[in-house]
Amino acid sequence: MSARPPPAVWFVAPALAAIGAFFALPVFASLGLSLTDFDIYAIGDLRTLRFVGLDNYARLLHEPLFWTALANTLVFVALGAPLSIAASLAAALLVNARLVRWKGLFRTLLFLPVVTTLVAVAVVWRALYHPRVGLLNGLLGALGVAPIDWLGDPRFAMPALIAMAVWKNFGFNMVIFLAGLQSIPERLYEAACIDGAGALAQLRAVTLPLLAPTFAFVGISTAIGSFQLFAEPYVMTGGGPANRTLSLVLLMYREGFRWWNMGSAAALAFVLFALVLAASWLQWRLRPLEAQR
Amino acid sequence: MRARLASLLLHALLIAASAAALLPLLWMVSASLMPAGEASQGPHLLPSAPTLEHYRALLGRMQLLRNAANSAGLAAAVTAISLAVNSLAGYAFAKLRFAGREPLFRALLAAMVVPGQVAMLPLFLMLKGLGLVDTYWGVIVPGVASIFAIFLIRQYALGIPESLLDAARVDGAGELRIWWSIALPACRPILVTLAVFTFLGSWNDFLWPLVVLSDADLQTLPVALANLAGEHVQDTELMMAGAVLTIAPAVLVFACLQKYYLQGLMSGAVKG
């Protein structure tokens, strides 16, 4: 007769069962799926399914659309994530400044875009970006700038999506930075002040080094989030113009759920996974010494 | 004098940043009140003659009300179920002893780097096999357990004094009873934070509901809005009204609970 399991097992069982069944299992199944030619016929009759080894991955390497989507996604991450983090840090420093009043109000206002629905603000920004009647060109026109076809011009479409993403997301990291800033002991600034350090010197010698662990967290989470770019191009550009805003996840969605090429879509999903893993690893390796304790 | 000037400059910058953050949302509300066609005539900041016709048109269609009810119901269900499931697990990982606790927890943390899209394709096929595609459960079930939520609750529950739990055990309380009447009240702040976080996450979610719900009667607001935006490219004012109706509940929830939400986020960030 075996002993009754301790009650703790029943506490974790529901969560672990759900994670196992609806996350872990599908992740491993996805790896298997990426090694098959699963397509719309296989949905109807699983016997048509064939094991194709690494063919899906090999085919991706010869698929120009894949390279386009990969390059677009990397551009979005490499430009969007640093810009977003810089905006977050600047906003946090402003809100946290000693002389500022109504800190709570500014914090809430700047955070507001974070809680909005991405699809809805994408619809709004599509209108703001309208070349003829959009508010943005209206404002720029008042400054003498010729109208720009933000979402229709291949040169501007990706920067336009990046600008919107920065607007939508910077508030989240701002709050994380604020938490980091408020955990820096006041006496360090007092000591720096006595040593004659000005505001800029304090920023360099005290604030930024002590924010290092926050940077590590913010960097990884922002990069991971950016790799998953989907709703913005889906709603605003459909991946165009000339595929300039086609992202990996949008391509995966089309392959998998429009054309039901689940095998090659799963291979795309694993490319995404590899990128996220590489980004996490890179940042873990590059994290500043202070955070390596 | 220099301090006055610096203060002035700081506030000017903050007001400019806040204006930039709010302008798209304010214009959305303004454009939703414009007579049909006005937003397509040129860049207008304010409606010439404010009208509620677009809201009436949208709310007059039963479809959109259904979509809103779907969104609200699904977000509420996901929030309630996930709080129960994750608080049980988070508390156990912090306070109850069982074989394999630490390795299991580390494995869960490591799994957080796997993006959800990786699981999406087989998950769809699995749910199809179970007959859950195009049902509410197809949306709820994958959103229930969250490693992130378990992690946050565990971090918070670590701070519950052991003596409190032991005293309850001496009094003969069962473990479930202790979880309910001691652990949950002690974790209230982080649970409120997570509730807001989960509700908003579910309300705003797009890709999974788009994939799993194709029946228009079951679809959520963001999916319906994306369809609307695809069909009615010209009706800017109507779409802005739709965007307002989608965003407003999320902003309202945030506005009511922002104190808990932001504080929870900040305390979690420091501990994490």
Query: Which residues fall within 8 angstroms of residue A57, CB to CB, at 6 or more apart?
Result: A34, A267, A270, A271
Q: A43 lies in a domain?
A: no
* Predicted pLDDT at B91: 95
Q: Distance of CA B254 to CAs A114, A255, B249, Å? A: 10, 36, 9
Query: Which residues fall within 8 angstroms of residue B233, CB to CB, at 6 or more apart?
Result: none
Least confident of A232-241, A252-261, B60-69, B219-228: B60-69
Helix (H, G, I), strand (E, B) or coil at A155: coil
Locate tokens 């007059």: which residue?
B60
* Predicted pLDDT at B272: 44
Which residues in chain B are contacts of A125 at CB distance < 8 A?
24
> Is residue A252 within a helix (H) or strand (E), and if so which, with residue range?
helix A248-253
* Predicted pLDDT at B84: 96
Beta bridge partners of A36: A51
Q: A272 lies in a domain?
A: yes
* Predicted pLDDT at B268: 66
> Is residue A108 within a helix (H) or strand (E), and if so which, with residue range?
helix A103-115
Question: Is the CB of B222 less than 8 angstroms away from the CB of A119?
Answer: yes
Task: List the one residue out of B71, B195, B136, B133 whose CA is nearest residue A120.
Answer: B71
Which residues in chain B are contacts of A270 at CB distance < 8 A?
118
Chain B contact probe: residue of A93, A102, A116 with most B CBs at under 10 A: A116
pLDDT, tens digit, 9 for 90 and up, residues A102-123:
999 999 999 999 999 999 999 9
Q: Please check the confidence at residue A81 and state whether its pLDDT lies above 60.
A: yes
For B14, which of A11, A106, A126 is closest by C-beta distance? A106
Q: Write the CATH number for A288.
A: 1.10.3720.10
> Is residue A220 within a helix (H) or strand (E), and if so which, with residue range?
helix A212-227
Q: A181 lies in a domain?
A: yes
pLDDT, tens digit, 9 for 90 and up, residues A179-206:
999 888 888 888 888 888 888 888 888 8
Q: A213 lies in a domain?
A: yes
Chain B contact probe: residue of A119, A129, A140 with most B CBs at under 10 A: A119
What is the rounded CA–CA span in Å between residue A114 and residue B25?
Answer: 12
Question: Is the CB of B21 less than 8 angstroms away from the CB of A121?
Answer: no
pLDDT by residue for chain B (272 residues), tens digit each? 778 898 999 999 999 999 999 999 999 999 999 998 888 888 888 998 899 999 998 888 778 899 999 999 999 999 999 999 999 999 999 999 898 999 999 999 999 889 999 999 999 999 999 999 999 999 999 989 999 999 989 998 999 999 999 999 999 988 999 999 999 999 998 899 899 999 999 999 999 999 999 999 999 999 999 998 888 777 899 999 999 999 999 999 999 998 888 887 887 655 54
Helix (H, G, I), strand (E, B) or coil at A36: strand
Higher pLDDT residue, A1 or A252?
A252
Q: A165 lies in a domain?
A: yes
Average pLDDT, chain A: 90
Interface of A with B in 15-74 (CB under 8 A): 15-16, 18-19, 22-27, 29-30, 33, 43
Q: Which domains does chain B have, with CATH numbers?
A: 27-39+48-271 (1.10.3720.10)
Locate tokens 């299992």: which residue?
A25
Q: Please check the confidence at residue A5 and state whether its pLDDT lies above 70.
A: no
Average pLDDT over residues A209-238: 90
Quote the domain boundaries for residue A191.
Answer: 66-292
Question: Is the CB of A127 less than 8 angstroms away from the CB of B200?
Answer: no
Burial A158-178 (b: 16+ CB within 10 A, else e): bebbbbbbbbbbbbbbbbbbb
Size of interface A-B (CB pairs under 8 A): 276
Tally of structural domains, chain A: 1
- Cα diameter, chain A: 85
- Secondary structure (H, E, C), chain B: CHHHHHHHHHHHHHHHHHHHHHHHHHHHHHHHCCCCCHHHCCCCCCCCCCCCHHHHHHHHCHHHHHHHHHHHHHHHHHHHHHHHHHHHHHHHHHHCCCCCHHHHHHHHHHHCCCCCHHHHHHHHHHHHHCCCCCCHHHHHHHHCCCHHHHHHHHHHHCCCCHHHHHHHHHCCCCHHHHHHHHHHHHCHHHHHHHHHHHHHHHHHCCHHHHHHCCCCCCCCHHHHHHHHHHHCCCCHHHHHHHHHHHHHHHHHHHHHHHHHHHHHHHHHHHHC
Which residues in chain A are contacts of B222 at CB distance < 8 A?
117-120
Q: A261 lies in a domain?
A: yes
Q: A13 lies in a domain?
A: no
Q: A55 lies in a domain?
A: no
Q: Please check the confidence at residue A288 and state whether its pLDDT lies above 70.
A: no
Percent of chain A with pLDDT over 90: 68
The one-letter amino acid code at A155 reads: R
Interface of A with B in 158-177 (CB under 8 A): 167, 171, 175-176
Q: Are B127 and B65 in contact (CB under 8 A)?
A: no
Higher pLDDT residue, A52 or A291?
A52
Least confident of A15-24, A89-98, A203-212, A265-274: A203-212
Chain A contact probe: residue of B120, B124, B219 with most A CBs at under 10 A: B120
The one-letter amino acid code at B191 reads: L
Average pLDDT over residues A237-244: 92
What is the rounded CA–CA span in Å between residue B146 and residue B90?
Answer: 10
- A128 CB within 8 Å of a chain B CB: yes
* Predicted pLDDT at A289: 54
What is the rounded CA–CA span in Å between residue A16 and residue B123?
Answer: 16
Which residues in chain A are contacts of B101 at CB distance < 8 A?
8
What is the rounded CA–CA span in Å between residue A70 and residue A271?
Answer: 9
